[in-house]
Amino acid sequence: EPEVTQTPSHQVTQMGQEVILRCVPISNHLYFYWYRQILGQKVEFLVSFYNNEISEKSEIFDDQFSVERPDGSNFTLKIRSTKLEDSAMYFCASDGGQGPYGYTFGSGTRLTVV
Amino acid sequence: KNEVEQSPQNLTAQEGEFITINCSYSVGISALHWLQQHPGGGIVSLFMLSSGKKKHGRLIATINIQEKHSSLHITASHPRDSAVYICAVTSYMDSNYQLIWGAGTKLIIKP
């Protein structure tokens, strides 16, 4: 069964450093998403991406964050100048249609900012 | 008020018990999702439904569109079912489909 792959599974970084979280969505999917979940809290939407551009972003997704699809397969989330409060589980998801056709989630990257 | 409410927040049961987790929502939806999050954190999609009932193994999901309510049932529960179960809805807002998440129900099944 097709999978969404995320790397790394766990990353520890110093406060102020930049991190790049990587995702390989399902190849024929069109819509890509990043979500995050701070420990003990509910999952929050960060950004959606379609046709090589951001289609929607939340208030959380400020100038510190950016997304790219650099080579047509990878989908990356970059966090510049990380803060302690960026520590969370970050999930990538993709879907093959306009939302209702089902999401496939990656297994997540646990980011710890120290 | 949260747009997606789940109950209970926490549920502990004995192995073999029939489990019900409820989800109510207040927005118009195109689909409702039940997802499972294991202690390691990974999220797995269990069901996506827009009407009626779906069954997969020991899991059953139902939805009542008129009442804006869905239930996830687990029959013959087993300790390996211990996880957080999350209800999420796909809603069309601001010219986009958005996935709105519930807070999750933490389920512990004791042997």
CB contact under 8 A, A103 and B50: no
**Cβ neighbour number for residue B88 with a 10 Å cutoff:** 28
CA pair distance A4, A26, nearest whole angstrom = 6
Residue A6 predicted with pLDDT over 60:
yes
Q: How far is A107 from chain B (nearest CA, A)?
A: 4
Q: Is A102 left (phi over 0), alpha (psi -120 to 50) or beta?
A: left
* Chain A environment of B104 (Cβ under 8 Å): 42
Per residue in A40-82, pLDDT (tens digit) is: 888 999 999 988 889 889 999 999 999 998 887 899 999 999 9
CA pair distance B99, A43, nearest whole angstrom = 10
Residue B106 predicted with pLDDT over 50:
yes
